[in-house]
């Protein structure tokens, strides 16, 4: 009986371990810039070319994809493409933020600088 009580006690406290309300308050966070989102979610593959990802710094990698429209590339990001997971590792990005990341990644696209 005692061991059952201990197990129930432990099970009820496990979800609280490491829980910090300040970590979950997105409303108070400063929105990330496109560049910050890129380095948080995309750079691990698109800086090195891992798994065949087009490198941000390699226009030739993007020239191979020049036949695709921005909307087609966005769809690939949203749905996932080959080794890239759906939403490109930016699960909290909106579709518009993903569109901005597509523009940021592609050195052949014209990107307007962000206002700070």
Give the mean pLDDT of the chain.
Answer: 78
pLDDT digits (tens, 9 = 90+) for 47-72: 999 999 999 989 999 898 889 999 99
| Nearest of 78, 83, 72 to residue 97 by alpha carbon | 78
pLDDT given at position 110 = 59
Assign 26 a pLDDT band (cuts: 50, 70, 90): low
**Is 80 exceeded by the pLDDT of residue 16?**
no
CB neighbour list of residue 104: distance below 8 Å, 6 or more residues apart = 34, 35, 38, 56, 111
**Is 70 exceeded by the pLDDT of residue 100?**
yes
């Amino acid at each position: 009986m005692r061991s059952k009580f201990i197990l129930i006690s432990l099970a009820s406290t496990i979800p609280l371990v490491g829980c910090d309300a300040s970590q979950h308050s997105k409303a108070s966070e400063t929105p990330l810039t496109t560049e910050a989102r890129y380095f948080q979610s995309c750079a691990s593959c698109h800086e090195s070319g891992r798994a065949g990802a087009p490198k941000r710094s390699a226009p030739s990698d993007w020239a191979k994809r020049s036949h695709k429209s921005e909307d087609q590339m966005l769809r690939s990001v949203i749905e996932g493409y080959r080794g890239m997971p759906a939403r490109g590792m930016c699960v909290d990005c909106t579709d518009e933020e993903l569109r901005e990341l597509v523009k940021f990644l592609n050195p052949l696209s014209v990107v307007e600088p962000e206002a700070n």
